Amino acid sequence: MKCKKLLTLITAATLCLSGCSGISRHAQANQDLSYTDMLFDTVIKIQILDSADQNILNGLKKLCQKYDTMFSTTNEDSDLYKLNHAGGAPVTVSDETADLIHEGIHYSELSNGAFDITIEPVSSLWDFKSESPEVPSSEAIAEAVSHVDYTGISLDGNTVSLADPNAGIDLGAIAKGYIADQVKTYLKSQGVRHAIINLGGNVDVIGTKLDGSKYNIGIQKPFDETGEAITSVKLKDQTVVTSGIYERYFKKDGKLYHHILDPKTGYPCDNNLYSVSIITDSSTEADALSTTCFLLGYEKGMKLINEMNGVEAIFITDDEEVHRSKGI
Ligand code: ADP
Ligand code: MG
């Protein structure tokens, strides 16, 4: 994805913080205690609003870089790279990778395979970041689709194996949420009580703003390059994660191709949604559910959220209508 688009995401997600927050002088003086980086294929920004030790930033950097490697499918040192190139042999992975695969299987089951973490053979065919992106051949897509099946994953403690030697795991749909949760736990353990964690539009907040009011986080207007918000949500110690077709895409011969892929066809999921945002306590859950609900479509996705406790959603359909779940 182009950097401009990434920055738009960041701007949109935090738009109302500077626009409508009334942050105090004291808070603004502390705004330099932030960590910005280009990780997880996106721009990340973590802002600590209360007084905190500068050393926390070093800890943050180490933590984020560790996960950047751990959950990459292309870094040869990563658990996932080793697993995806093991030809079906068992591979020992870190506690965190095992945890995340376990979560991924849960959402794959919940959606009956609409969400499927073994999408890797298909997702690795598509390059949404390329300067001159191409649609993969239909033969290559059909071949890749035949290896997608989460029921072939065996997870026993930290040992993982894939029944199909050509299968592969891609945790891209949930890793950022998981990392946001880990960052939040780390910052809290360091005594931080007010912070905004923004991993490419995946926003998780600690506490409230310094004046005790909730954070007002903008939800981006689909395809708006200026980062304008279509609506916003008020958060205290919660997270909001959006999956949308405007986040990573390219156009070819007038057709838009985006990065949320239908495991049955191998092509971008085709429905009437622009985006789904999930608001809840756990960012892992929000990230998993935003992609899952997108793949389930408006009706089934909204039904799923309305049956859950403590989880809310905002669906934006392609007529730019904003649909909210029952609790918000
Ligand atoms: P983003 O990564 O932009 O925040 P998402 O959380 O919606 O967006 O995740 C999209 C990513 O999930 C894709 O880039 C790919 O790595 C992965 N993915 C794509 N389709 C599926 C699918 N059907 N099931 C599980 N993961 C998927
Ligand atoms: Mg997701």
- Rounded Cα gap, residues 155 and 315, in angstroms: 33
Bridge partners, 218 (sequence order) = 232
Amino acid type, 152 = G
Local mean pLDDT, 10-residue blocks, the chain (328 residues): 46 42 37 86 95 91 97 96 98 98 98 98 96 96 98 98 98 98 98 96 96 97 92 98 94 96 98 98 98 98 98 98 97
pLDDT of residue 310: 98
pLDDT of residue 168: 98
Atom of ligand 1 nearest to the CA of 116: 24
pLDDT of residue 298: 98
CB 240 within 8 A of CB 286: yes
pLDDT of residue 247: 84
Domains of the chain: 9-54+195-254+272-324 (3.10.520.10)
Question: Ligand 1 centroid to 319 CA: how many Å?
Answer: 23
pLDDT of residue 1: 41
pLDDT of residue 127: 95
CB of 258 within 6 A of ligand 1: the answer is: no
pLDDT of residue 225: 86
pLDDT of residue 32: 63
CB of 176 within 6 A of ligand 1: the answer is: yes
Return the residue whose CA atom lies nearest to atom 23 of ligand 1: 115
End-to-end alpha carbon distance in the chain: 32
Return the residue whose CA atom lies nearest to atom 19 of ligand 1: 260
CB 198 within 8 A of CB 94: no
90-108 confidence digits (pLDDT tens): 999 999 999 999 999 999 9
pLDDT of residue 21: 27
Question: Ligand 2 centroid to 86 CA: how many Å?
Answer: 26
